[in-house]
Amino acid sequence: MGLARFAITPDPLDPAAVEAVIADPRHGAVATFVGRVRAENQGRSVQWLEYEAYAPLAVSVFEQIAREAAEQWPGATLAIAHRIGRLAIGDASVVVAAGSPHRREAFAACRYGIERVKQIAPVWKHEHFEGGDVWIEGATADPADAAAREIAVARACS
């Protein structure tokens, strides 16, 4: 079975498979962001990460992010996949692929996609480091917060 365009999965992520989901002859450009587990975080030596998600809400949030990107950059199409479960250093945790006729919109939509994932996707990482563990808590998720959306657009266009 192929990967869904918006997915939460315990399986290893293959960036090429995420790109394939949005393959389109109109796309002269595809920009793909891959987030990977880093060995160091805020001075801590990370051993592994455990990700959890509220899957049905996460999938509808990914759909919303793609709609927002298409409003901002007409012709841009996003696919988003996030992995859950235990991930080792170097494993891909998230893939955002953006296709568009031209590169400017593909890069911008891709950057926008990952910024919005970090702002509003109901996904959490539990960091296990040398000597302990900690839940990473970032943004209070509010999909209607226009200011957050503007920040994501500004970053996408920087």
Partner 1 sequence: MLVKILLFARLREIAGRSELERELPDGATAEAAWVALAREFPAVGDYRTTASCAVNHDYAKFTTALHDGDEVAFLPPVSGG
Helix axes 55-72, 103-120, angle to 10 degrees: 150
- Residue 121, interface with partner 1 (CB under 8 A)? yes
Among the listed ranges 22-30, 71-79, 103-111, 112-120, the one in contact with partner 1 (CB under 8 A) is 112-120
- Residue 120, interface with partner 1 (CB under 8 A)? yes
Q: Which residue, 4 or 75, has its beta carbon nearer to partner 1?
A: 4
Q: Up-side HSE of residue 88: CA atoms within 13 Å toward CB?
A: 2
Q: Which of 29, 52, 63, 91 binds partner 1 (CB under 8 A)?
A: 52
Q: Which residue, 51 or 73, has its beta carbon nearer to partner 1?
A: 51
Q: Up-side HSE of residue 19: CA atoms within 13 Å toward CB?
A: 14
Which stretch of DSSP H or E encloses residue 100?
strand 92-100
Q: Considering only residues 64-93, where is the footprint of partner 1 by CB under 8 A? A: 82, 93
CB of 120 to partner 1, least distance (A): 7
Q: What CA–CA distances, in Å, run from 63 to 39, 68, 82, 96, 132? A: 31, 9, 13, 12, 35
- Residue 153, interface with partner 1 (CB under 8 A)? no
Q: What are phi and psi for residue 85, nearest 5 degrees?
A: 95, -165
Binding site for partner 1 (CB under 8 A): 35, 51-54, 56-58, 60-61, 82, 93-94, 114, 117-126, 135-144
